Amino acid sequence: MLFKTLWNTICILILLFFTIPLICAGTEPLAHQNFQYEFPPLMKSIQFKKDIRFCGTKIPIEHQDVKERLEKEMLLALWNRPQVILWIKRAGRFFPHVEKILKQHGLPPDLKYVPLIESALRPHAASSKGAVGYWQFIRSTGRNYGLRIDSQVDERRNIFKSTNAACKYLKTLEEQFGSYLLALSAYNMGEYGLNREIKRQQNNDFFSLYLPLETQRYAFKLICAKIIFENQESYGFYLNKSDLYPVFSFDKVNFKSDFQMPIAVIAKAAVIPFKTIKDYNPELRGYNLEKGDLTILIPKGRAKRFKKNFNSRYKDWEKIYKTKFHIVKAGDSLSKIAQTYQMSFLSLLQLNNLSVKSMIHPGDRLLIE
C-alpha cells in the first residue's frame, strides 16, 4: 500500500513537470504584457540620433570610443528609473529659475543639467570632499565667486546665489579653455588639474584627452540627462505637467533686527512652521538670525500677513531678549558663561549659532535662555 501511494505521487510530479511549461508557453509573462509599451527595450534606448549636441558642440558618436562611453552612461541612468523620475519632478521646481539666470549671463541653457547631475537639485547635498549645495562648490571656490560661507549662512545652498556664482565660474573656465566641455571638465576636476593634463598630453580635444575616470564620465552624464529630458516619453517617462513639483515661488520680506533673533519669530509673524522658513531658506544654519538688515523668503502670498504681524512679534521678542542675555566681559569664556547660568556648554553654542572654535569679545551679547 505504501509503495503504491509513493508510485502515484511520483507519477503526478512527473506529469506536472511536463505539462506546466506547456500551459505557460502560450501565456506572455504578466510584466511583459503590462509594461511592454511603457519601458522601451534597452537596446533601443542606446540607438542615438546622429546629430547630438551639448552646449553647441557636436558629439562625435561615429567614433567607437565616444559611442561606448555615451551608451554606458545612458544605460546606467536608465537602470535607476526612480532617480530619473525625481530629476524630472524637481526640475519643474528649479529649472525655470536656473534657465533665467543662465540667460542673464549669456550662457547655454544646457548648463542647467550641471546641478541636476551634481546634486540631483538637493540643497543639502554634500560630498566627502567638502562640496556642498546645488552646484557642489567647495568652500574656497564658493568664496572666490562671492558666496558667503560661515557658521550662520552657507549660500552654496541658495539656488539663486549659487547659480549666479556657478555662471561666473563656468564663464571664466570657458574663456580659459575655449570650450564648454573642457570648462565642465575643469569644473569637475579643477582648472589646475586639467591644465596639467592638457600640457602633458599636448592635446586640448575633450574627446581624446585621457582624464580621471570621474571626469571622463562627467560630461557624458550631462549629455545623457539632456537626451532623456528632451525625449522623455521615448524613454518611458510619461509625466504630465501636474506630476512635476510646482515652480519655486515666494515672497521676499525685508526687515531689520538690532540683535540675534530666533527664526521662530519670523515663522510666527508669517504664520507658517519653522520648517517652512528653513525649506525656503536652506542657506540659513542653526536656529537664529544674525542682527542687521535681513531678507528672507517665505511662501507666496504670506508677505502681507508677515508685515502686519512682524512689529508686534519683534517687540515681544525684544522684551524677552533684553532680560535674557549676557554682555561679555574681559576674562569671560564660553565655558565660564555656561557654568554661571547653569546651562550646558552645547546649549550655549546652539542658542548663539556658535561653534567650539568661535571667539567672543568684550561687549558681545550672548543669549543665555
Nearest in space to 225 (alpha carbons), one of 66, 99, 118: 118
Kindly indicate the confidence band of residue 5, based on its pLDDT and cuts at 50, 70 and 90.
Answer: low
Kindly indicate the confidence band of residue 324, based on its pLDDT and cuts at 50, 70 and 90.
Answer: confident
Task: Give per-residue pLDDT as tens, 225-261.
Answer: 999 999 999 999 999 999 999 999 999 999 998 888 8
Angle between helices 213-230 and 81-104 (to 10 degrees): 90
- Share the mean pLDDT of the chain: 89
Nearest in space to 71 (alpha carbons), one of 213, 233, 227, 238: 227
Kindly indicate the confidence band of residue 363, based on its pLDDT and cuts at 50, 70 and 90.
Answer: confident
Kindly indicate the confidence band of residue 326, based on its pLDDT and cuts at 50, 70 and 90.
Answer: confident
Asked whether 134 and 162 are in contact (CB, 8 A), the reply is yes
List the domain boundaries for the chain: 53-243, 249-322, 324-369
- Domain 53-243 and domain 324-369, same fold? Reply is no
Report which of residues 367 and 147 the model is more confident about. Answer: 147
Q: Which three cell numbers stand for residue 345?
A: 556648554
Residue 258 CB: number of other CB atoms within 10 A?
11
Q: Residue 221 pLDDT > 60, yes or no?
A: yes
Q: What is the pLDDT of residue 353?
A: 85
Provide CATH code, domain 53-243: 1.10.530.10
What average pLDDT does this structure show over 192-196?
A: 97
Alpha-carbon distance values, 257 to 284, 311, 324 (Å)? 16, 11, 16
Residue for grid cell 515652480: 247
Asked whether 137 and 131 are in contact (CB, 8 A), the reply is yes
Task: Give per-residue pLDDT as tens, 88-122.
Answer: 999 999 999 999 999 999 999 999 999 999 999 99
Percent of the chain scoring above 70 in pLDDT: 88
Q: Residue 36 pLDDT > 50, yes or no?
A: no
- The beta strands (E) that lie in the chain are given as 53-54, 57-58, 250-257, 261-262, 288-289, 292-299, 325-327, 365-367
Report which of residues 1 and 299 the model is more confident about. Answer: 299
Q: What is the pLDDT of residue 327?
A: 81
Q: What is the pLDDT of residue 34?
A: 44
Q: What is the pLDDT of residue 362?
A: 83
Task: Give per-residue pLDDT as tens, 134-175.
Answer: 999 999 999 999 999 998 999 999 999 999 999 999 999 999
- CATH label, 324-369, candidates 1.10.510.10, 3.50.50.60, 3.10.350.10, 3.40.50.620: 3.10.350.10
Distance CA 369, CA 178 (A): 57
Q: What is the pLDDT of residue 8?
A: 59
Distance CA 306, CA 284 (A): 19
Kindly indicate the confidence band of residue 33, based on its pLDDT and cuts at 50, 70 and 90.
Answer: very low
Q: 284: which strand partners?
A: 153
Distance CA 206, CA 203 (A): 8
Alpha-carbon distance values, 117 to 98, 122, 217, 220 (Å)? 14, 10, 11, 10
Report which of residues 325 and 254 the model is more confident about. Answer: 254
